[in-house]
Amino acid sequence: MSSYFTDLAQQYIDGEWRPGTGSWDIIDFNPYDGEKLASITIATVDEVDQAYRASARVQREWAAAGAYTRRAVLEKALRVVEEREAEITDVIIAELGGTHAKAAFELHLAKEFLRESMNVATRPEGQLIASPVEGKENRLYRVPVGVVGVISPFNFPFFLSLKSVAPALALGNGVVLKPHQDTPVTGGTLIAKIFEDAGLPAGLLNVVVTDIAEIGDAFIEHPIPKVISFTGSDKVGRHVATVCAAHFKRTVLELGGNSALVVLDDADLDYAVDAAVFSRYVHQGQVCMAANRVLVDRSVAEEFTEKFVAKVRSLKAGDPRDPETVIGPLINSSQAEAISSVVEQAVAGGATALVRGGVRDNLVEPSVLTDVPADSPLLKQEVFGPVAFLVPFDGEEEAVRLVNDTPYGLSGAVHTADVERGVRFAQRIDTGMFHVNDGTAHDEPLVPFGGEKNSGVGRLNGESGLDAFTTLKWISIQHGRSAFPF
């Protein structure tokens, strides 16, 4: 594994591995023990420009190579991932603080989406559209947008980078990827290496490891990329959207969430507890779809709470290299401090801590809070860490109001013995996704993924990927002569 952090601690521009020319380095740390994994000299504005120009230079030839050529490269990339699963697992654990279970979950999703991207390559179809003009033939072509800029986050960097990179490449585009500075290898250069070894033409995919302190808005303002796919916070997403709109760029924005898991009065409580604990604490709660809020009908709240608290207390927190560990570290000290502050703020505001986890460096143990005042801003914001808010409600009407009382609208879940009751409930929630009798954290290759309100704009996956990374072109043919009015 160590060779990954040695060999891949570089920029990947125009098919070459090389150091950046910036004046400072990004230091890549293991978030659990503070070990220095790598030091990467950052890319400059000039290197971002080189990356985009390289991708644009190669892209037309790649698009012309045809769907089956592109599919073959994606197929090889999948084989490379499968062959290197053990090493990639070690990288996820070391760089993200992900547990073994989290790494397996991320790799499973990554492989599923690579398989779907192979199919996406052959999916674009044209149309013949009827014309009111005699002799006119209207053809509609679906063509690549050209070059796509991808900005990926730190929480599921391998999967969430591939989620945009793979379909964009499959559809004939070039890509420049900017991974999060806390996960430059897992979310960036590792992906470049996989595609390089799979035979992707040099220059088509580029990875720039850098920071806005060095490049400002150069990555999203650059004239070459026609689409920017961003996954991250709604605050940064709002800025990305504003800048891109000013430059007439399309955006796909997968942003934050404040999902709720709702337990109705007829739910299977043991099952609902399992779903709620996973939905809140998977990857230490650093998941946009995580169930920040667990809403429970007051008639079953006492029993549910007792079971929920017991299960949370059983979660082992510690070294993510230990296969028994469920809760590993948060990604950095800023995140750890922010989550500690949330718990302190909630308790100071009147909340009761049923479980109050300890904090050691970046390791933040799970907390469970109840009696949070109804007007607390904590119930409306995203909490990116292992803190659950238990909120009782009286009847479905109140539950619907509480679930929707947030600026976010990404995911959610409801538990009930009556499936159609669950569907009717889900239809009343202002989210892009909602699940009946399951957890809140799901993603599937064919199903449109995305949110409403502050949770984003646009969708990814399946047919939505075609809309994200291609554009439509009308070509008309006049058989015979047109009649012009002058």
Joined together, the tokens standing for residue 66 give 């045809």
How far apart CA 208 and CA 385 sit, in angstroms, is 28
**Count of alpha carbons within 13 Å of 374, Cβ hemisphere only?**
8
Single-letter residue type at 255: L
Select from 105, 114, 171 the least CA-distant residue to 472. Answer: 171
Considering the domain architecture, whether residues 294 and 199 belong to the same structural domain is answered as no
Considering the domain architecture, whether residues 381 and 311 belong to the same structural domain is answered as yes
- DSSP-assigned states of every residue in 393-442: ESHHHHHHHHHH-SSEES--EEE-S-HHHHHHHHHTS-SS--EESS-S--
Single-letter residue type at 120: V
Considering the domain architecture, whether residues 325 and 200 belong to the same structural domain is answered as no
Check whether 156 has a pLDDT greater than 70: yes
Joined together, the tokens standing for residue 195 give 């595609």
pTM greater than 0.85 (yes/no): yes
Select from 264, 207, 288, 197 the least CA-distant residue to 13. Answer: 207
Structural domain including 307 reads: 259-436
At 364 the three-state DSSP class reads strand
Considering the domain architecture, whether residues 245 and 317 belong to the same structural domain is answered as no
CATH of the domain at 320: 3.40.309.10
Check whether 23 has a pLDDT greater than 70: yes
CATH of the domain at 190: 3.40.605.10
* 87 within some domain: yes
Looking at residue 385, its pLDDT comes to 97
Looking at residue 437, its pLDDT comes to 98
Helices (H) and strands (E) in the chain, counts: 16, 24
Compute and round to an integer the Cα radius of gyration of the chain.
Answer: 24
Select from 347, 389, 339 the least CA-distant residue to 364. Answer: 339
Check whether 1 has a pLDDT greater than 70: no
The model's pLDDT over 98-131, given as tens digits with 9 standing for 90+, comes to 999 999 999 999 999 999 999 999 999 999 999 9
Considering the domain architecture, whether residues 269 and 202 belong to the same structural domain is answered as no
Residue 99 vs residues 106, 327, 328: alpha-carbon distances, Å: 11, 7, 6
Residue 465 CB contacts under 8 Å (≥ 6 apart), including other chains: 120, 167, 171
Looking at residue 62, its pLDDT comes to 98
Considering the domain architecture, whether residues 266 and 229 belong to the same structural domain is answered as no
CA dihedral 25, 27, 28, 32 (to 10 degrees): -170
* 277 within some domain: yes
For 341, counting Cβ atoms within 10 Å of its Cβ (0-12 exposed, 13-18 middle, 19+ buried), the class is exposed
Task: Give the residues across from 176 on adjacent strands.
Answer: 149, 206
Q: How many domains does the chain have?
A: 2
Between β-strands 174-178 and 205-207, what pairing exists: parallel, antiparallel or unpaired?
A: parallel
Looking at residue 39, its pLDDT comes to 97
* 484 within some domain: no
Contacts for 476-481: CB closer than 8 Å, 24+ residues apart:
476/131, 476/136, 476/137, 476/138, 476/139, 477/136, 477/137, 477/139, 478/133, 478/135, 478/136, 478/137, 479/135, 479/136, 479/137, 480/134, 480/135
**DSSP state letter for 482:** P
pLDDT, the chain, mean: 97
Residue 53 vs residues 65, 174, 189, 249: alpha-carbon distances, Å: 19, 10, 19, 17
Considering the domain architecture, whether residues 198 and 309 belong to the same structural domain is answered as no
How far apart CA 203 and CA 113 sit, in angstroms, is 23
Mean pLDDT of the region 324-339? 96
Considering the domain architecture, whether residues 108 and 204 belong to the same structural domain is answered as yes
Mean pLDDT of the region 76-91? 97
Question: pLDDT > 90: what percent of the chain?
Answer: 99
The helix (run of H) or strand (run of E) holding residue 62 is helix 45-64
Select from 274, 388, 409 the least CA-distant residue to 339. Answer: 388
Considering the domain architecture, whether residues 100 and 240 belong to the same structural domain is answered as yes
The model's pLDDT over 355-376, given as tens digits with 9 standing for 90+, comes to 999 999 999 999 999 999 999 9
Could you give the maximum distance between any two Cα atoms of the chain, in Å?
83
Considering the domain architecture, whether residues 169 and 122 belong to the same structural domain is answered as yes
Residue 54 CB contacts under 8 Å (≥ 6 apart), including other chains: 13, 14, 15, 203, 206
pLDDT band at residue 2 under the 50/70/90 scheme:
low
* 14 within some domain: yes
Check whether 456 has a pLDDT greater than 70: yes
Residue linked to tokens 């992900």:
98
Residues in the chain: 486
Give the count of beta carbons closer than 10 Å to the beta carbon of residue 28: 22
Residue 243 vs residues 45, 72, 167, 210: alpha-carbon distances, Å: 17, 36, 24, 19
The model's pLDDT over 226-244, given as tens digits with 9 standing for 90+, comes to 999 999 999 999 999 999 9
| Active site members | 254, 288
Joined together, the tokens standing for residue 371 give 């009696």
* 443 within some domain: no
* 354 within some domain: yes
Looking at residue 3, its pLDDT comes to 85
Dihedral sign for Cα 155, 159, 161, 167, please. Answer: negative
* 244 within some domain: yes
Considering the domain architecture, whether residues 251 and 265 belong to the same structural domain is answered as no
* 380 within some domain: yes
Considering the domain architecture, whether residues 79 and 6 belong to the same structural domain is answered as yes
